[in-house]
Amino acid sequence: MIKLSTLVVAISLALTSQAQAEQTITASDKAIKLAKDTIIIDTHIDVPYRIHESWVDVTQATSDGDFDYPRAVKGGLNAPFMSIYIPAHLEFEGKGKSYQLANQMIDSMEAIVQRAPDKFAIASSSTDIKEQFKQGKLSIAMGMENGSPIEGDMKNLQHFYDRGIRYITLAHSQSNHISDSSYDIRRKWKGLSPFGKKLVTEMNNIGMLIDVSHISDDAFYQVMELSKTPVIASHSSLRKYTPGFERNMNDDMLLALKENGGVIQINFGSSFVTAKAGSWGKQLKSTKESAKKEGTKLSKDFDAAYRAKNPYPFASLEQVLDHIDHVVELIGIDYVGIGSDYDGVGDSLPIGLKDVSSYPNLVQGLMDRDYSDKDIKKILSGNLLRVLKQAEEYAKKH
């Protein structure tokens, strides 16, 4: 067992090293201005579940988490899609609890606007986002992570659309009544369920974006065949840099996404960005399991002690940029955006992208890689706005 004093020193050194690395990333005045002058849409921020678990007023500065209003303003964030995240528990699926929890978290987003109407506004369309940007307000858009609250009833799709939900991640970490999950080795439906296939059509017709993050490869390709409008991967990165991690997308999927006209929103979580971070997590889990098999009683400081001896391999801003580069090189500038997963991936965020104040660092990195202002604006919001607008126009006709 590591002595407490040794553990404290090790953690202190690790944090100091990380802080020093953070300080080397400095956005220029031009990068900061571009971030402030451009609509920034981040399609996946987990504030609703964060404040559901432990309430905090994000209209003011907070001491924890990755999002609050002052940091959003500093980073230039204008339109976060707040994730109405429903855990993939069997006790939720099909028993009314998913529906109830989703409505409670939507209520919490409306409460934020009511608490600070000078700062926030609910956005339910591409026009809302643009108009609220002009007004200097932060748009709260919403996406539902896990389609279990639909509960097999198309009326619920309309209900959640009316409440402001504009995309649905069909499944999460387990297969549900709509789709198989990339994390679930049981491929119950071998892709989409019969109801899931009907749901895709109805989502198209109503103007709800289909989110292919989290679903299995088979489900992804079935969505590609069925959807008449562009889809999004709201918070996914690339399998090229994380071999074997099905949660990310491979090159063939990116090519299919281009044909569909959709967009992949790059996830910032280190395990999504670099294989080393994913391997670290697997090794920690394996070490725990081995200790338990040997009858060792794990201390409450086990994870911290392990991290002190085996520092977590945080991804870097440069590695996040590599993901963006690869999408652009393979399928073009029109099909990539930002889906950070802030407040959803714990303390695994990359150096230089630790919270919502960090977007200027991303802009600086893109500038350093010779992206034009026009192309940077596409990544920050233009591509997502295009997809959202296409979904809205299709729904008007159907």
pLDDT band, very low/low/confident/very high, at 293 (cuts 50, 70, 90): confident
Give the per-residue pLDDT at 24: 61
d(CA 129, CA 80) in angstroms, rounded, equals: 10
- pLDDT digits 0-9 by tens, 133-157: 999 999 999 999 999 999 999 999 9
pLDDT band, very low/low/confident/very high, at 11 (cuts 50, 70, 90): very low
17's enclosing H/E stretch is helix 4-23
pLDDT at 288 > cutoff 60: yes
d(CA 208, CA 344) in angstroms, rounded, equals: 23
Share the mean pLDDT of the chain: 92
CA-based torsion, 110, 215, 344, 248: positive or negative = negative
Return the closest-CA partner of residue 125 out of 398, 394, 391, 376: 391
pLDDT band, very low/low/confident/very high, at 296 (cuts 50, 70, 90): confident
- pLDDT digits 0-9 by tens, 90-118: 666 767 799 999 999 999 999 999 999 99
pLDDT at 18 > cutoff 90: no
Domain 29-274+313-397: give its CATH superfamily: Metal-dependent hydrolases (3.20.20.140)
d(CA 206, CA 129) in angstroms, rounded, equals: 19
pLDDT at 347 > cutoff 80: yes
- pLDDT digits 0-9 by tens, 196-242: 999 999 999 999 999 999 999 999 999 999 999 999 999 999 999 99
The domain spans of the chain are 29-274+313-397
- pLDDT digits 0-9 by tens, 313-344: 999 999 999 999 999 999 999 999 999 999 99
Give the per-residue pLDDT at 91: 67
Q: Count other C-beta atoms under 10 Å from residue 97's C-beta.
A: 17
Which DSSP state fits 299? P
- pLDDT digits 0-9 by tens, 240-283: 999 999 999 999 999 999 999 999 999 999 999 999 999 998 89
Give the per-residue pLDDT at 19: 44
The better pLDDT of the pair 40, 291 is held by 40
Give the per-residue pLDDT at 90: 63
Do the Cβ atoms of 268 and 353 come closer than 8 Å?
Answer: yes
168 burial (CB, 10 Å; 0-12 / 13-18 / 19+) is buried
Give the per-residue pLDDT at 10: 38
